[in-house]
Amino acid sequence: MYARLSSIMFPIVTILFIGAIVWGYQEHQEKNSVLIKAENQYQRAFHDLSHHMGRLHDELGQTLAVSSASQGMQRKGLVNVWRLTSQAQNEINQLPLAMLPFNKAEQFLSRISSFAYRTSVRDLTKKPLTPEELKTMKSLYKTATSVNQELGKVQDKVIANHLRWMDVEVAIASENGPNDNSIIDGFKTVDKQMGAYPENEWGPSAMSTDRKLSSAQLTGKDVTADEVKKKAMDFLGHHVNATDVKVSEAGAKTDLPAYAVSLKASNGVNIQMDYTRKGGYLLWFMNPRDVKSRKLNFDTARNKASEFLVRHDYKDMSPITYDEYDHVAVFTFAHTIDNVRIYPDKVTVRVALDNGEIVGLQAKDHVFAMKLLAPGKPKLSKAQAQTGLNPEFRVEDYSLAVIENDMRQPVLCHEFIGKINDHRYRIFMSAETGEEESIEEIPDSAKPIYK
């Protein structure tokens, strides 16, 4: 009987055993295939990064080598620097460096990109490169030289020692002490060299793009935590108990020290606010309660938002766009002077559509906006500016507006809102030259508010 049973079971077990081996082999092959594909992608991104950083170095050198009167070649070189920097940033994002401190290198590349873009888009025949900008480019070229030398060492080690990027990923994720991987050590050196670039070497074009928010841009004296608590209570309403309001310092060692305010409302929702330490300006307020129904129409919600801004001393603000989701209306208001919209000076207000309560305010742009006393007078009329529009553009609304150009300078424009190719746009035509200063597509969700 046992002989008969074994004669039946043995072939079955043998088949199952062989099947398990085949399945395991296939799984192993598929896993290896995935690892090989990932490794190939990492290797390609790294070698492309090395190539583009080398090209970036060459373009900086060539741009510095041409005559200062060769603005065409300078502009071409700066455009190539901007393009190559963008490619290098993209390749860094493809490498397994998420857990490796590489923020200094990424910030350095971002600033090169901003510097190159801002200087290349302006008319260099009218505004040639300044001595400070040329000094900046020389410093960039010097830093790029040392960075490329270090990347070259890493690349040589990768090729000579057949190093794998998959090992880098494992080494970074490892919690067993310091990582001694050659690639990791090389990239740490690169990050250190890029981070050593002095802040004051950046020319005015690049510095204006970062728009680093700082207390130096604000007026007023430093306020105390108790003063902020009083401001928060006045903002929220006198029914708030002082014992419920908690104030803590935030960013004490940064350029923008602030106070974080929190309190738990009677419905259990945690309300949050941020105030600047200098001047005690409210940056934002959020009451993230659930809004479960929509009872108010657009006009009522807009009036609630406008009344709220007037009540809290945000004067001369006009609604320009609104959005709606989860039964909350979101209105953006721009400061208005003599019927001219000042777009850099704006606030966003969130209105609950169940009862009209204001459940959010974003005022950072308003706090840090350049305060214009007057928008100026247009050199060209609306009709003259409109001749520069595409004939197929159907104008739906018009206004004079102040926007910021690529150099972060205020520019008076004729603003035309309309549709072309089934999409809605804001087109800002310079009130001085009649040329397009900026074009902005308006998403379907962010509906414009017409005059």
34 lies in the same domain as 127: yes
78 lies in the same domain as 199: yes
Q: What DSSP element (H or E) covers 182?
A: helix 182-195
149 lies in the same domain as 253: no
pLDDT of residue 450: 79
Helix (H, G, I), strand (E, B) or coil at 104: helix
Q: What DSSP element (H or E) covers 346?
A: strand 340-352
330 lies in the same domain as 285: no
Q: How many structural domains compose the chain?
A: 4
Pick from 346, 370, 394: which residue ends a domain? 370
272 lies in the same domain as 153: no
341: tokens are: 């919209």
Residue whose tokens read 């087109």: 427
**Contact indicator for 422, 369 with CB cutoff of 8 Å:** no
- CA 161 to centroid of chain Cα atoms: 39
42: tokens are: 């990492």
441 lies in the same domain as 329: no
pLDDT digits over 272-294, tens only? Answer: 889 999 999 999 899 888 888 99
C-alpha to C-alpha distance for 108 and 104, rounded to whole angstroms: 6
Q: Which domain holds residue 237?
A: 214-289
Residue whose tokens read 């809004």: 291
Q: 60 vs 55, 77, 142, 198, 202, CA distance in Å?
A: 9, 7, 10, 18, 15
C-alpha to C-alpha distance for 338 and 400, rounded to whole angstroms: 10
Let me know if residue 451 belongs to a domain.
no
C-alpha to C-alpha distance for 231 and 223, rounded to whole angstroms: 10
19 lies in the same domain as 73: yes
For the chain, the helix, strand and coil percentages under 3-state DSSP, each to the nearest 5: 45, 20, 30
Let me know if residue 4 belongs to a domain.
no
283 lies in the same domain as 416: no
186 lies in the same domain as 110: yes
Helices (H) and strands (E) in the chain, counts: 11, 13
C-alpha to C-alpha distance for 222 and 215, rounded to whole angstroms: 10
In tens digits, what is the pLDDT along the chain, a chain of 451 residues? Answer: 555 555 665 566 566 666 666 565 555 555 556 566 666 777 787 778 788 888 888 888 888 887 777 788 888 888 888 888 888 877 777 776 554 445 556 667 777 887 887 787 777 887 888 888 888 888 888 888 877 777 777 777 767 766 666 665 555 555 444 444 555 666 666 566 555 545 444 444 444 444 567 788 888 899 999 999 999 988 987 666 767 888 988 777 677 888 989 888 777 788 888 999 999 999 989 988 888 899 999 999 999 999 999 999 999 999 999 888 788 999 999 999 999 999 999 999 999 999 999 999 999 989 988 877 778 899 999 999 999 998 899 999 999 999 988 777 889 999 999 998 888 889 999 999 998 888 888 877 777 887 7
C-alpha to C-alpha distance for 329 and 162, rounded to whole angstroms: 58
C-alpha to C-alpha distance for 256 and 78, rounded to whole angstroms: 33
79 lies in the same domain as 170: yes
190 lies in the same domain as 42: yes
Let me know if residue 57 belongs to a domain.
yes
pLDDT of residue 351: 95
pTM for the complete prediction?
0.60
Polymer length of the chain: 451
For residue 237, the domain's CATH number is 3.10.450
306: tokens are: 């406008």
Pick from 190, 210, 230: which residue ends a domain? 210
81: tokens are: 């620097």
- φ, ψ of residue 295 in degrees (nearest 5): -115, -20
Let me know if residue 18 belongs to a domain.
yes
367 CB-side CA count, 13 A = 25
Let me know if residue 3 belongs to a domain.
no
344 CB-side CA count, 13 A = 18
pLDDT digits over 172-190, tens only? Answer: 555 444 444 555 666 666 5
C-alpha to C-alpha distance for 44 and 439, rounded to whole angstroms: 37
In the 8-state DSSP scheme, what is residue 129? P
Let me know if residue 326 belongs to a domain.
yes
**Contact indicator for 157, 186 with CB cutoff of 8 Å:** yes
Quick one: which of 266, 427, 282, 449 has its CA closest to 367?
A: 282
- φ, ψ of residue 131 in degrees (nearest 5): -55, -35
Let me know if residue 377 belongs to a domain.
no
**Contact indicator for 346, 352 with CB cutoff of 8 Å:** no
284 lies in the same domain as 297: no
Pick from 232, 254, 289: which residue ends a domain? 289
pLDDT of residue 12: 64
Let me know if residue 376 belongs to a domain.
no
